[in-house]
Amino acid sequence: MSEEVTIEVNSIVNPGYILQIKQASGFCGHSSAKTELFKIVHVEGKTGKVVKEEYEWTFKNGTTLKAENPSSLLKQLSDYN
């Protein structure tokens, strides 16, 4: 059984910067799965230098947890559950 869910990710980026939104996904046999975990990367356009990374986990009910690093996000997830 597969279920498809649309998740909205919002972020503000400064002029001249590139915003990358990366979704965690995985594979098992012939199946693939996309998770509710997103990494948002702010890149300075001219130099390619990463200036900021954010992590977001969005639940099906619309609640979103945000953190500056994976450890903080894991702590929030354990507190949320």
Residue 80 has pLDDT above 90, yes or no: no
Residue 48 has pLDDT above 90, yes or no: yes
Strand residues in 1-81 grouped as ranges (E): 17-28, 31-44, 50-58, 64-67
> What average pLDDT does range 51-74 have in this prediction?
87
Per cent of the chain over pLDDT 90 is: 31
Residue 1 has pLDDT above 70, yes or no: no
Report how far residue 26's alpha carbon sits from residue 52's, in angstroms, rounded to the nearest whole number.
25
> What average pLDDT does range 24-45 have in this prediction?
88
Cβ 23 vs Cβ 7: under 8 Å: no
**What mean pLDDT value characterizes the chain?**
86
Name the nearest CA neighbour of 46 among 78, 17, 70, 69. Answer: 17
Residue 26 has pLDDT above 60, yes or no: yes
